[in-house]
Amino acid sequence: KKVWCRMRENKCEPIVETTGGHARHPYEKKARNGNVTIVDNQYYRIITITMANLQAKDSGTYSCA
């Protein structure tokens, strides 16, 4: 399981986390929450995180867990 967090006061506040794989691509886990998408491709060992339509209020420190 992979989680994309926004860090506040040294604590991880989860934004989005991966769930089970897709029937068509069982090695790929994908999740979306608003403008944030995380894709965990376990076959190629690549994690892609996309944040779209960012605004000033979105500035800060982010981390994966």
pLDDT band at 1 (very low <50, low <70, confident <90, very high): confident
List the domain boundaries for the chain. 2-52
11-61 pLDDT, tens per residue? Answer: 999 999 987 655 566 788 889 999 999 999 988 999 999 999 999 999 999
DSSP-assigned letters across all residues of 1-65: --EEEEEETTEEEEEEE--SBPSS-TTEEEEEETTEEEEEETTTTEEEEEE-S--GGG-SEEEE-
pTM for this prediction: 0.81
